[in-house]
Amino acid sequence: MAQKKITKVDLVEAVFLDTSLEKKEIQEVVDSLLEKIKDSLKAGSSIELRGFGSFEVRLRKGRAKARNPKTGELVSVEPHSVAIFRPGKELKDTVWKIKKSK
């Protein structure tokens, strides 16, 4: 199994090889999709991509005592929002079958 990190450029290249679209068009579509996902999350909406998964925003509680792992210094953490991804059933089933290579 390949351990390579896939980038947005790699995804654009893969779609380019599978379609008759130009790379510039594919890049614009990918950028637009990612921008719409960010805008939706910012507005408090969740995004559901059937067969793939869901993106949503959750509120993390703050803590009065937390430790900066780099310096070891005690700091307080305010409540804040985080983006989360929950994989869908089809994605879970696909990933479950992957054998880990040594």
29, 87, 31: which is closest to 56 by C-alpha?
87
Give, as one character, the DSSP assignment of residue 5: P
pTM, full prediction: 0.75
DSSP 32-50: HHHHHHHHHHHTT--EEET
Q: What is the pLDDT of residues 72-83, one digit of tens each?
A: 899 888 999 999
pLDDT above 50 for 1:
no
Token pair listed for 39: 């805008």
Structural domain boundaries in the chain: 8-96
pLDDT above 50 for 63:
yes
Least confident of 17-21, 43-47, 68-72, 96-100: 96-100
CA distance 98 to 3: 13
| Assigned CATH topology for domain 8-96 | HU Protein; Chain A (4.10.520)
pLDDT above 70 for 4:
yes
Q: What is the pLDDT of residues 5-36, one digit of tens each?
A: 999 999 999 999 999 899 999 999 999 999 99
